[in-house]
Chain A
Amino acid sequence: MWWQKVIFICFSTQQLNDSTNSMIAIIDYGAGNLTSVKRALDYLKIPSVISPDPKAVRSAKQIIFPGVGHAAAAMKKLRERGLDGALRDAFAAGTPIMGICLGTQIILSRSEEGDTECLGIIAGTVPRFRLSDPALKVPHMGWDAITVKQKHPVLCDVRPGDEFYFVHSYYPLPSDPSAVIATCGYETEFPAIIGAMNFIGTQFHPEKSGSAGLRILKNFAAWKGAPC
């Protein structure tokens, strides 16, 4: 019967919306290996979907904004796909967003990498490491400990001495020092985690940081977006 079809269609659409709304959307903008984030969430049995679709980003329960690569190339892709606007809307709507590496950097206003105008969701810049010790190599690559400066629900079980995996030549520098949640030292102290309102971003890769990193992803999945 025709009405059965209508009911079926309504029902399936409803289901589809429900399923997107209850998941973490991992933003796909062609920047790096998104599957490693997806694999970590799958392992933790946290439902997620990799999506290039601005609509899915706007309606997602939570968003993970990863990225590896060049700031200028990343911004170009985001704009082409309309994901820049979708991210701003989601942030304004209070959706919990987690940036990883390049994702955390381009949330800020401007990056020194290719002198790129970025999303500007949080005011700040992305400088390159300028180190005087010739023995220190750039990128800052490998395992390093962080110092938590401010309590945050996503970091509730980070233990002193926990180390995380970094690979980066640039780092996020918010204009407002109160947006620095944790720091790391590489000749000078630099922000390793930044956050404001419903955004939190790590410079390191939680998906490659063993059990300490997985705990952060798990905490993020339970986070409703309110700061401490």
Chain B
Amino acid sequence: MLSRRIIACLDVRNGKLAKSVRFVNTKDIGDPVAAARKYYENGIDELVFYDITASSDKRDIMIDVVSKVASQVFIPFSVGGGLRSVEDCTRVRLAGAEKVNVNTAAVANPRLIADVAASLGSQAVVLSMDVLRVGASPATPSGYEIVTHGGRTRTGMDALAWAKKGEQLGAGELVVNSIDADGTRTGYEITLTRMIAENVHIPVIASGGGGAPEHLYEVLTEGKADAALIASILHYGEYRLRDIKEYLHKRGVKVRMV
């Protein structure tokens, strides 16, 4: 039986961590490669790097980070942020990332999902969706809407319909990121995660709101998520990965113990 995965998310701007990671020793502060290496050694199951570099001429820095991570971290990791074409995705993959994350570019051009899946295989395509709770309406019968640009841009698209369409187009996994829960650290959006997970046949990764081990427990059981994304709960050193996994293990969730 598969283990539920715990995935650490690292935001990278111009080749440096956008938020500092507390446990990394002083000389390595801000180095995403050192942080990735540390999480890997501590038993993280997977990593996601979001490139939040604003200017496109600095994107090569990220490719360099990816290839450095790939040469010393031997677990799957994915890269997202600013990937707009099959070529962008192929570069990231050749640099050593197992998977690519598409989000805004896929909303603008859903064919991108199919094209990347045809070129790299569905297993390499993760569709990230930023979701806002809006209440049911004719346009959004699920009660949730897809937003882009960190929640600033409404798309009018129904979140559940988009998840199903993403699967149909060839996405291998979905990241369901709740804009409402994001940053609150009061728990994942269980209703949303469960609704998506029950209606697609690909793994669902819950994102946004994870602030304590019990939040992961909730979303991996009641929320039916296959994996949970965590960021600040780890970065600020409040919980050790080992403690989170032991907590889940004790409560009967199958996790990989290292």
- Decide if A33 touches B93 in the complex (CB within 8 Å): yes
Identify which of B71, B75, B226 contacts A39 (C-beta below 8 A).
B71
Residues of A within 8 A of B172 (CB): 139, 141
Nearest neighbor of A135 in chain B, beta-carbon distance: B224
Tell yes or no: B31 within 8 A of A by CB: no
- Decide if B3 touches A142 in the complex (CB within 8 Å): yes
The majority secondary structure among interface residues of chain B is loop
Q: B residues 98-130 with Cβ under 8 Å of A? A: 98, 121, 123
Min CB distance B116 to A, Å, is: 14
Residues of B within 8 A of A (CB-CB), count: 29
A43-B71, A163-B3 given; 20 more Cβ-contact pairs under 8 Å: A33-B93, A33-B98, A35-B96, A36-B70, A36-B98, A68-B123, A69-B121, A141-B123, A142-B2, A142-B3, A142-B45, A142-B203, A142-B226, A144-B2, A165-B75, A185-B1, A207-B74, A208-B75, A209-B74, A210-B43
Known: A39-B70, A68-B123, A142-B226. A208 touches B76 (CB 8 A): yes
Please provide the 5 A-B residue pairs with the shortest distance between their CB atoms, ordered closest to farther.
A142-B2, A143-B3, A163-B256, A143-B256, A167-B123
- Decide if A186 touches B123 in the complex (CB within 8 Å): no
B contacts, CB < 8 Å to A: 1-3, 5, 40, 43, 45, 70-72, 74-76, 93-94, 96, 98, 121, 123, 172-173, 201-203, 226-227, 256-258
- Decide if A143 touches B5 in the complex (CB within 8 Å): yes
Nearest neighbor of B1 in chain A, beta-carbon distance: A185
Residues of B within 8 A of A100 (CB): none
Residues of A within 8 A of B (CB-CB), count: 32
Tell yes or no: A196 within 8 A of B by CB: no
- Decide if B71 touches A42 in the complex (CB within 8 Å): yes
A contacts, CB < 8 Å to B: 32-33, 35-36, 39-40, 42-43, 68-69, 137-144, 161, 163, 165-167, 185-186, 207-211, 213-214
Q: Which of B5, B74, B201 has the most CB of A within 10 A?
A: B74
Identify which of B2, B72, B98, B256 contacts A208 (C-beta below 8 A).
B98
Identify which of B45, B94, B96, B202 contacts A143 (C-beta below 8 A).
B45
Q: Which of B1, B45, B172 has the most CB of A within 10 A?
A: B1
Known: A141-B203, A163-B3. A43 touches B94 (CB 8 A): no
Residues of A within 8 A of B75 (CB): 165, 208-210
Min CB distance B146 to A, Å, is: 23
- Decide if A144 touches B1 in the complex (CB within 8 Å): yes
Residues of A within 8 A of B76 (CB): 165, 208
Q: What CA separation (Å) do A207 and B77 show in the bound complex?
A: 12
Q: What CA separation (Å) do A214 and B76 show in the bound complex?
A: 14
- Decide if B72 touches A43 in the complex (CB within 8 Å): yes
Min CB distance A142 to B, Å, is: 4
